[in-house]
Structure 1
Amino acid sequence: MHIQARCRVALALPILVTAALAGCSSLNGAAHNVASMVTPYKVEVVQGNFVSSEQVEALQPNMSRQQVRDILGTPLVTSVFHGDRWEYIFTIKRAGLEPQVRKLTVFFEGDLFTRSEGDEMPSEAEFVASLGSKKSQGKVPVLEATDAQLSRFPAPQPEELAQPEPPPAATSYPPLESGAY
């Protein structure tokens, strides 16, 4: 009997507390105020490759595809139907701010870079400044190394710069299935 009484009290207590709170209109307004202060966290969505104006300026006609990839990174879109161009698309969506979308198309003739088209790209410093919080705009760090900072690192030797040639692509492939069953 003692256990049954404890169970009844355990069930009755939450019911009584709920009934008391439901009858109190001042708590209803307070609950609404608390609910309006709490907002869900919204994730920043970053997609693609950020391309700066400095990177676009570094592109020169007749560069190889590998040189362009070294400067801009791997393209977000390469099409089977348009093998002569690469698409670099960058999107960032942040809570409370307008989404930023930038596009750059790089054109090739064969393996050589010919031209690029797209949106005007910000400099690295401008992009970093645009990422500042809405609440406080901090100081943008210097994005260039001084001669004194660079002198701390030794220059690479010519043998370090040389990269081995990749092996030639296979021209014939073994059969997919063997003849024996």
Structure 2
Amino acid sequence: MHSPSSFRAVCLLVAPLVLGGCTAMRSSTDSLFGLITPYRVEVVQGNVVTQEMAAAVKPGMTRAQVRDVLGSPLLADIFHADRWDYVFTIRRQGTAYQQRRVTVLFDGDTMKSFEADELPSEREFVASIDTKSTKGAKLPTLALNDEQLKALPVPAKGSVAESASAPQGPARDYPPLEPVQ
């Protein structure tokens, strides 16, 4: 039989090794034995600013015009009243982490300058967050071909004009809003 003190000594030596192995496995693969992947919450913060939006903003615009194009800034500091910061971050499972910064500087009420990281076009941004692989998939057609058009039933003549002019639904008689004297 083993003594309780030797059993404790073995447990104390093995426990750090087991726990250290779990930490190393978690940080390297983000899954448990490659079978179970934990759910990650999608985190989207800030305003998306694209190349098209940046092209629409010009020096000399008012604060209201800049807000109409870019939206409200994420950071508008009272200590730096002539600076608006637009920060955008997104963490989405299956896509790369994205972070962009845009700074708009004002002189009074007019825009003085626009500074930004490299901005994607709208199409590039949508493609970067699309987790469904539609590449190579056959997309449905949105128009009918000649055979499908011929297979449609022919509407009765005059029925459209008659139904548009005739009242639909039951006739209602509402009481007067004010009492009749």
TM-score, normalised by the number of residues in structure 2: 0.54
CA contact 1:132–1:138 (8 Å) conserved in 2: no
Matched letter for residue 50 of structure 1: V
Structure 1: gaps (5+ residues)? 1-33, 140-181
* Paired residue secondary structure (1:54): helix
What's the % identity of the aligned pairs?
52
Q: Does 1:69 align with 2:67?
A: yes
TM superposition shift of 1:119: 0.1
* Paired residue secondary structure (2:53): helix
TM superposition shift of 1:84: 0.5
1:41 paired residue number:
39
CA contact 1:107–1:114 (8 Å) conserved in 2: yes
Cα displacement string for residues 14-35 of structure 1 (whole angstroms, at most 9, x for unaligned residues)? xxxxxxxxxxxxxxxxxxxx97
Matched letter for residue 130 of structure 1: S
**Matched pairs, number:** 105
1:3 paired residue number:
none
Matched letter for residue 86 of structure 1: W
Structure 1 stretches (4+) deviating beyond 4 angstroms?
A: none
TM superposition shift of 1:138: 4.5
Cα displacement string for residues 39-95 of structure 1 (whole angstroms, at most 9, x for unaligned residues)? 221111100000011111101121110000000000000111111110000000122
* Paired residue secondary structure (1:128): helix
Matched letter for residue 64 of structure 1: T
1:78 paired residue number:
76
In structure 2, distance between residues paired with 1:138 and 1:50: 24
2:104 paired residue number:
106
CA contact 2:104–2:111 (8 Å) conserved in 1: yes
1:117 paired residue number:
115
In structure 2, distance between residues paired with 1:108 and 1:70: 15
